[in-house]
Structure 1
Amino acid sequence: MLNKLYYPAVFSVEGEDGFGIRFPNFPDCAVSGDSMETGYERASRVLGEILEGLETAGDMIPKPSMPQEIALQKGEFVVVIEFDMLEYKKRTRSKAVKKTLSIPSWLNEEATAVGVNFSQILQDGLLRVLNEKSC
């Protein structure tokens, strides 16, 4: 899965400051917010839950609709929700897992002597590779 995805959400005004939000790509999903900021944050969180659920189940992630092709009712407007799967996973799946790996003994001795944090180096390297692969 690509790290960054952009899905259109249809916002509709509810009351003085509130918004109802629906996703054309996910018809069974709707959220609301009492401000634009809250609505956007909730929409992003729900989008993450949907996409993670699809990914976990091995289901296909639908291609986002084109905003200009969405039929709108009076009082509705489209907001594109940016979703970063890598950032979402960092926030929601931060449980550490143990990995066993092998390096040459001389490299281990040199790195240990200067206080290298092996776990941090591996995490940084993996993130760099994942970011390069998603571009």
Structure 2
Amino acid sequence: MDKYMYPALFEAYEDGGYTVSFPDLPGCITEGDSLTEALTMAKEALELFLWNMEDDNEEIPEPTPPEKIETKKGNFIVPVEADMALIRAKMNNKTVNTTVTMPQWLKYQAEKKKINFSQVLQAALKEQLNIKN
């Protein structure tokens, strides 16, 4: 599925901050110093949590209808949407560091020629995997 919408439980603090949790997704918790920040953080937390669940091949539960979630006085429910197509594209295209092992003499020779190790490794991997740009 590409789009999900889950109810987020906002718990207000006296100082104006909020803790946000998702009743259907235990462990998916964030916070913000203002309502605007808490909403932004809730969306980001939901997207990353669902992306990790997908990446781990975990079953994603059905969201509970917001009207069925009971809240304490002062707390409230906000539906938060996650567009997984966008998140997948973002996460799959982020750069990551990787350690490679090679003979020291080869590293020195490449550095003398100012060779970009990342570019060479990417090109070699694409060639090995028969990936065309």
User: In which range does the TM-score fall when normalised by the shorter chain?
Assistant: 0.5 to 0.7
Q: Give the Cα separation in 1 of the matches to 2:14 and 2:71.
A: 18
> Please, which moves more after superposition, 63-72 or 91-100?
91-100
In the alignment, which residue of structure 2 is the partner of 1:55?
A: 54
Q: Give the Cα separation in 2 of the matches to 1:85 and 1:29.
A: 16
Q: Give the Cα separation in 1 of the matches to 2:3 and 2:50.
A: 11
Shift of 1:92: 2.3
Identity over aligned pairs, percent: 30
TM-score by length of 1: 0.66
Number of residues of Structure 1 aligned to a counterpart in Structure 2: 102
One-letter amino acid of the counterpart of residue 38, structure 1: E
Shift of 1:3: 0.9
Superposition misfits of 4+ residues, deviation over 3 angstroms = 95-101
Greater Rg over alpha carbons, structure: 2
Taking the TM superposition and a 5 Å limit, the aligned residue runs for 1:52-131 are 52-94=51-93, 98=126, 100=130
Q: Give the Cα separation in 2 of the matches to 1:21 and 1:50.
A: 13
In the alignment, which residue of structure 2 is the partner of 1:40?
A: 39
Q: Give the Cα separation in 2 of the matches to 1:7 and 1:29.
A: 11
> Please, which moves more after superposition, 70-79 or 49-58?
49-58
| SS of residue paired to 2:27 | strand
Shift of 1:100: 4.7
**Is 1:21 matched with 2:24?**
no
TM-score by length of 2: 0.67
Report the aligned-residue RMSD. 2.1
Shift of 1:44: 1.2
